[in-house]
Amino acid sequence: MEKLLKGKLPRHIAIIMDGNGRWAKKRFLPRIAGHKAGVSAVRNVVENCRRLGIEILTLYAFSSENWNRPSREVNALMDLLGDFLKSELKEMLKNNIRLTTIGEIERLPGSALKCLQSVCEETADNDGMILNLALSYGSRNEIIKAVRRIVSDYSEGKLTPSDINEERFSRYLFTANFPDPDLLIRTAGELRISNFLLWQLSYTELYVTNTLWPDFRKDDLIKALEDYQKRERKFGRTSEQIERENWKGKMCNPKDG
């Protein structure tokens, strides 16, 4: 961690936690064993992000497409979610972590939903870090819902076509209260986004590791952050423009130089 530049850490990290099934298969274990092992990785990453001062950590925990998996696996995942929330509530309160969610959480079974809502309420005043779980989440569906809300507001006279821009559209998404992710980490080596934050990832730095999620630990997180800090985030500008802006910033704040 000492190698990292504190001033260049991402404000918002998103992670596609992939590889639980393959981790279990390599060990001739049932898939649920991989999901259980993945919970330890979640704890480790949350703890280390909190230590680093990361403001927001969004984890792709359960996609809208995951409902198509065998019911036995889905039920086991919902049980794991409830167990995780119950076991981690004390740590979230201790470490000033607020739990939030994005997605169609109303689709969750009653016990899991009740537990989720309870932990969200109990941690609502925490302001040290936000742990944001994407549950029953699909980005295309999120965008469609946003369009429907916009059409509804238009029909009620709340806005006009000229009011719609990128900033206004973003307010209709599940992530309306969050900045876009600065860094997306995907484990298990797959080179796809998997219907995750399609709008929000427009200028996000992507990092893919072959490490399976249950094996992902602090060293893997540090590698991703070291790689991130080597990137030049241009947002459509040229390197020369960024250099001039940095030079002007140093001239205005000589103590920072």
Of the candidates 220, 196, 225, 86, the one whose C-alpha atom is nearest the C-alpha of residue 137 is: 196
Neighbours of 142 (CB within 10 A): 25
What amino acid positions are annotated as catalytic residues? 18, 66
Exposed / middle / buried, residue 118 (Cβ in 10 Å: 0-12, 13-18, 19+): middle
Three-state secondary structure readout of the chain: CCCCCHHHCCCEEEEECCCHHHHHHHCCCCHHHHHHHHHHHHHHHHHHHHHHCCCEEEEEEEEHHHHHCCHHHHHHHHHHHHHHHHHHHHHHHHCCEEEEEECCHHHCCHHHHHHHHHHHHHCCCCCCEEEEEEEEECHHHHHHHHHHHHHHHHHCCCCCHHHCCHHHHHCCCCCCCCCCCCEEEECCCCCCCCCCCCCCCCCCEEEECCCCHHHCCHHHHHHHHHHHHCCCCCCCCCHHHHHHHHHHHHHHCHHHC
